[in-house]
Structure 1
């Protein structure tokens, strides 16, 4: 079967134009201060004074201590402009030693610190709430080593994901993580939030790919767990505490990651279906028929496609349907992969599981299809203030959450859309409205978290808890688990200076 003729809509791809990956901020004005919006009380921390600034300049140099309000503006606000802090000091260390000296000073003075990487987070975890000192990984951007035989890369925490991947391509390797924010996010931030991304189905969680972590604790102690070994079964695996702890236990300065071989053969299929149940049947068949070459299974609803068309002028290459599925395969033998994909496509056409679709084997065309999926978050920023929820659910109830949210809100919204990683049960529920207000916020929360708990899901699949979700952790974790988390935090950071007001429950009224 000729893949190029598998779907009648294939030729529509020829009109695709590649769009810039640059993310835009929410279309609404500068957000109110987080502390005021959420009624947060400042912790018992000191305030940075002239002596502190002199100490910091002695560590990192004059040019890497930023105090100008205009220069700090972007660091005090998240990229979707939903939270805003009040920091007056940004530090840009270059080495682990500098980080150690900074944290030692801050701990002794009880100065709160907000770790920050690319600031691409979606739950307010990477920006200050009050006047925490922002400690940036911006200058910690070196790839330290790449072993082409073992596939292990060691790099500083400030390496940008896309740049690290480009460096690895010289060795026919890739980072086992792919995100829409790849052009901006830092690997240290990815590790600290345990980012999931688009190809978790193929490469698994970062918890399995990260072999080692170097981190600086609150008192300046350097925790060297930077192993390069795939098998190291000695004692407690302390690095796992740093993965996903969102900078509350330690400041990640370097990582070692097991990187897979670059696939020699990649194909993308974009399908249209009328019912969510058909997506589930397609997912099951893709797993059965494509097996080891299946690398991603994503879905978007019709409203998502409408938004990327309306706001970003991206072209849908097939007809209008209720749901769309993106399937990516990657392997080492193009003939083998195309034969498997050909058989799969023939079966879903014959059974009419898919109503329409298109296949791309050309790199630019594949990027154009991926752009439809990756640009949904950007398109939503043009639709108003966005309430964003990242949940894990059993696959068969994923879209029920979208339906029920629409019914619950009774028109108090511009859009309620659902999209995400169908292959691992990760739904991104987004609600847009003209502007933030507490009436809409209270209607959405805790409804979304109650719904998730009722269906045995997780309130955070991959974005972390950050600031926005920390007080809802009990919808997923038991009281005993939360108590142990607090004890671990107390042990690692007795003065509570590292990323306060994040991850663990606190004083929001």
Structure 2
């Protein structure tokens, strides 16, 4: 008798005991269950999947109901959160998602939407035994208007695949992430992902023209407009951008896609202080203007990580700080002249002591890989305590220094890098394995530090499961009360991605 059948004759207490034992003892390589690591979180009064439920799902999704080998769906990319879901559903259409949610809402079965499962705050995996609704098979391009640059696609389209498709029409997608080979556009929208070119193209709040979402009761909300201007009533799509699957499941999106740059150049520079990094940023905005598409920084520990864990070589000598600047445009000679004038100025004034410029694709890719593969390299250390925050640039690197002083030898390393162009710091601390002592030393100190400087505890990764209890560090009580009212209105039975984004009701 399989695990799903056993669920039919068990109450919730017995079910939890069985699930914990099953997932803890099946293999040593498994991550500790989220429900064990965070014992204060209690399972809600949701239904337990029965044989009759499985049969219904099989009728709705013939051949696309998974009940075995679900570790990949239960464990997040960082391998820091793990649920105990026994069922994964893989719809292909909006109508199928509607049927699933209508049934689950009636039975009060909790669900968690999941795209590429590249999230970093535990938002895309179950906390207990929620049903996983995967958008993997919802991967069709619906339409493209080449003149306006408007793309409509299903939520399960992989970001890199969209980028490749648009490239054939000399267009590009206004978001670029290190995880673009795996992440889904629906998940990007649901988490309001930022990426390395927000400086150039802005956030998804400005680039999503419309979306389609299925509400908790199965109702389809069709706001899939392709218009640049539509000033009729409330802009409902904005509620779903960044809602992390708690208000509805995004099934399709329409995007504004700019022209693909004809020429791209990358400069990799060394700086002696973080203030110098800020001075270089100021000069880049002034002298590069419209061709500036990205301004990233890495500290010396980031470079050490790249060398030790990824075996990548730096193209320049060792420095305390590094700057990666990308320019892109439509006129190669014009763009190259602007970049050369900029470099001549920052090096002549002593802001930059060494640097290199890449215009060939392989060299550009190598430089970008040092920045984009940092998240991968951190996992080689063991466990990664990962934070992304927004801070005023005057306080930006101070958080890294404060955490190094506070943690000392308790951690393997403290690494700081990120998007100076939009004030987004990625702070990462590593240790051989998860340590409650280390975590208690980090939180809530880190969030208090950010709040005191009027920053945000989440710049682009969302709140998910890990940060939900700290939302008050960035939002007022009245704002959170209103968010809870919105959640209750959209999802009265609270079945959509429970235990995420908002504190307990």
1:308 alignment partner in structure 2? 306
Which whole-Å CA distance do the structure 2 matches of 1:192 and 1:410 have between them? 36
Aligned partner of 2:146 in structure 1 is 148
- Structure 2 equivalent of residue 479 of structure 1: 477
SS at match of 2:394: helix
d(CA) in 2 for partners of 1:501 and 1:343?
Answer: 52
Query: Once the two structures are superposed, what CA deviation does each residue of 1:161-193 show, in whole Å capped at 9, x if it has no partner?
Result: 000110001110011000000000000000000
Match of 1:21 in 2: none
Select the residue among 191, 194, 198 that pairs with 1:193. Answer: 191
Alpha-carbon distance, 1:30 to partner: 2.4
The equivalent of 2:500 in structure 1 is 502
Aligned counterparts of 2:185 and 2:242: Cα–Cα separation in 1: 12
Partners of 1:228 and 1:414 in 2: how far apart? Answer: 49
2: CA distance, partners of 1:480 / 1:35: 29
Could you say which residue in structure 1 is the equivalent of 2:31? 31
Q: Deviations along 1:170-225, whole A, 9 cap, x unmatched?
A: 11001100000000000000000000000000000000000001000000000000
After TM superposition, the structure 1 = structure 2 runs for residues 366-381 of structure 1, keeping only pairs within 5 Å, are 366-381=364-379
- 1:2-49 Cα offsets, whole Å, 9 max, x none, are xxxxxxxxxxxxxxxxxxxxxxxxxx9422100110111000000010
Alignment partner, residue 336 of structure 2: 338
Cα distance in 2 between the residues matched to 1:309 and 1:408? 25
For the aligned residue pairs, the C-alpha RMSD in angstroms reads: 0.8
The answer as to whether partners of 1:384 and 1:414 remain within 8 angstroms in 2 is no
The one of 77, 87, 90 equivalent to 2:88 is: 90
Match of 2:57 in 1: 56
The 2-side partners of 1:399 and 1:292 are apart by 27
What residue in structure 2 maps to residue 396 of structure 1?
394
Deviation at 1:370, TM superposition (A): 0.3
Separation in 2 of the partners of 1:349 and 1:459? 35
| Cα distance in structure 1, aligned partners of 2:369 and 2:152 | 29
Q: Distance in 2 between matches of 1:265 and 1:181?
A: 23
Shift of 1:384: 1.8
Per-residue CA deviation, residues 239-266 of structure 1 (Å, 9 max, x unaligned), is 0000000000000000000000000111
Q: In 1, Cα distance between the equivalents of 2:350 and 2:437?
A: 44
Question: Which position in structure 2 is the counterpart of 1:271?
Answer: 269
Q: Secondary structure at the match of 1:397?
A: coil
The aligned counterpart of 2:116 is: 118
TM-score, normalization by structure 2: 0.94
- 2:355 & 2:408 partners in 1: Cα distance? 34
Deviation, structure 1 residue 411: 1.9
> Structure with the greater relative contact order (CA < 8 A, sep ≥ 6): 1 or 2?
1
Instruction: Give deviations 1:351-409, integer Å, cap 9, x for gaps.
Output: 11111100001111111100000011111000121000000001121111001011112
1:241 is aligned to 239
Cα deviation, 1:437-467, whole Å, max 9, x if unaligned, reads: 2111111000110000011100000000000
Q: After TM superposition, give the deviation of residue 313 of structure 1 in Å.
A: 0.7
Match of 1:184 among 171, 177, 182: 182
For each residue in 1:77-96, what CA deviation from the matched residue of structure 2 results, as whole angstroms up to 9, or x when unmatched? 01110000000000000000
| Cα distance in 2, alignment partners of residues 122 and 238 from structure 1 | 26
Residue 259 of structure 1 aligns with which residue? 257
Q: How many residues align?
A: 477
Give ranges in structure 1 of 5+ residues lacking alignment: 1-27
Equivalent-residue separation in structure 1 for 2:164 and 2:177 (angstroms): 14
Counterpart pick for 1:455 among 453, 471, 475: 453
Give the distance between the partners of 1:436 and 1:156, measured in 2 at CA.
37
SS of the equivalent of 1:486 reads: helix
